[in-house]
Structure 1
């Protein structure tokens, strides 16, 4: 566990010193320790520049040039039997090195092996789509564009996947405010009612930790519970620890008679 330090309300700042804390990595093993992975790596090195390769937690990890992504994945699929692309996404390192780290998580069902391909691209750099190699890259690439703003070339339908088409910004960038920006705060009000209703309705509540005790549809009101959707009540309600009638031979326990022990006897 990291030692505590006063962050001084860092959630309202775009950057802070320990944002890029990197946990100690588990040990890396030489590729030669696994005959299957060694053969796969030899096939890749014969055609492409492999910047780094190692085995970690039982899977092969290779770093490549981003410009080789399509051809290299095609080779892994055709010659190395990695037939499934199970995950594809990015990590925002823009403030640290002005780069995104991309990864492709592959699985070979015939060899029962997993392989991860990694590469780096700069901000605004266009990446070639691998949809032609793995159809599962379809939504993954759209989500990456939607959440990080990474432009993908050659995708058949490069539109936002999760956010509305006219949404401003990309929510998984580390510079994106936790509760959304000005556009996010008023988005639904402006779309449904119009900007002239901003003063009447007020901004959208985007704090997921906020509890409105008068909201009888989404929250429980501890101490004065009412049926779902009913009018809120201030009248206290009490519940006994046992069902009505109690349990045979066992003393009936009541909440009103309970005591809080300050320390162990």
Structure 2
């Protein structure tokens, strides 16, 4: 079954959840509400006619002041068996959470953690939702459009508390010769 037909099938089965189906540069995208993402993911993964057995990527997008809801979680799916792709764009409002799809695709584990770490989007049911790129004590979410790029507004000269520790470790490693 070709991706446009899969999108139409989803539209029929999950009529209340599908917002739009778009074709762009030979790629099919389905925009969804967040409420049934786990059921939709399970259907796309398990149904032999779809068999989306690979989650290639999952990422966040911040549409601050452009769209409402503000965020989207984008799932890029691929079927190794049928050799076709499908993109799911799931809308998430600020301060809302979305169901984790780790139970469907194990690769979602790290992708969801990165999305949480960069955008602050919470994935309900994730087995280990914690920072993956930023230090645990980091304040804020760097990929959000409202994230300060010049440092904290109340003290533009302030720096992350662990910065001095990282510099000291770098100096300490220089004595080993293998670190330049």
**TM-score by structure 1 length?**
0.55
Measured against aligned partners, the alpha-carbon deviations of 1:104-157 in whole angstroms (never above 9, x if no partner) come to 000111221110001211100011100001111001111111111111110000
More strand by share: 2
- Aligned partner of 2:52 in structure 1 is 82
Cα distance in structure 2, aligned partners of 1:189 and 1:78: 46
Cα distance in structure 2, aligned partners of 1:184 and 1:43: 53
Where do 1:6-25 residues align within 5 Å? none
Give the superposition deviation at 1:191: 5.1
CA separation of 1:155 and 1:186: change in aligned 2, threshold 3 A: closer
C-alpha contact (below 8 Å) 1:44/1:75 kept by paired residues: no
Q: Distance in 2 between matches of 1:37 and 1:186?
A: 46
Contact 1:94–1:123 (CA under 8 A) maintained in structure 2: no
Alignment of 1:187 onto 2:157 = no
Alignment of 1:89-238 (within 5 A): 89-96=59-66, 97=68, 99-181=70-152, 185-189=159-163
Contact 1:131/1:137 (8 A) holds in 2: yes
Please tell me whether the aligned partners of residues 59 and 113 of structure 1 are also in contact (alpha carbons under 8 angstroms).
no
With CA pairs under 8 Å and 6+ residues apart, which has the higher RCO, 1 or 2? 2
Q: Quote the offset at 1:56 in angstroms.
A: 1.6
Shift of 1:186: 4.0
C-alpha distance in structure 2 between counterparts of 1:57 and 1:78, whole Å? 27
Q: Matches of 1:61 and 1:98 in 2, distance apart?
A: 18
- What is the CA-CA distance between 1:94 and the residue it aligns to? 2.8
TM-score (norm 2): 0.79
Match of 2:23 in 1: 55
- Supply the RMSD in Å over aligned alpha carbons: 2.6
- Residue 144 of structure 2 aligns to a residue whose secondary structure is coil
Q: Distance between the aligned counterparts of 1:122 and 1:157, measured in 2?
A: 22
Query: Does the 8 A contact of 2:52 with 2:79 survive in 1?
Result: yes
Partner of 1:20: none
Residue of structure 1 equivalent to 2:170: none
Separation of aligned partners in 1, 2:137 and 2:69: 26
| Number of aligned positions between the proteins | 162
What runs of 5+ residues in structure 2 fail to find an aligned partner? 168-173, 175-179
Q: List gaps (5 residues or longer) in structure 1.
A: 1-34, 194-216, 218-228, 230-265
Asked if the contact 2:52/2:80 (under 8 Å) is kept, the reply is: yes
Following superposition, the deviation at residue 63 of structure 1 comes to 1.0
Q: CA deviation at 1:86?
A: 0.6
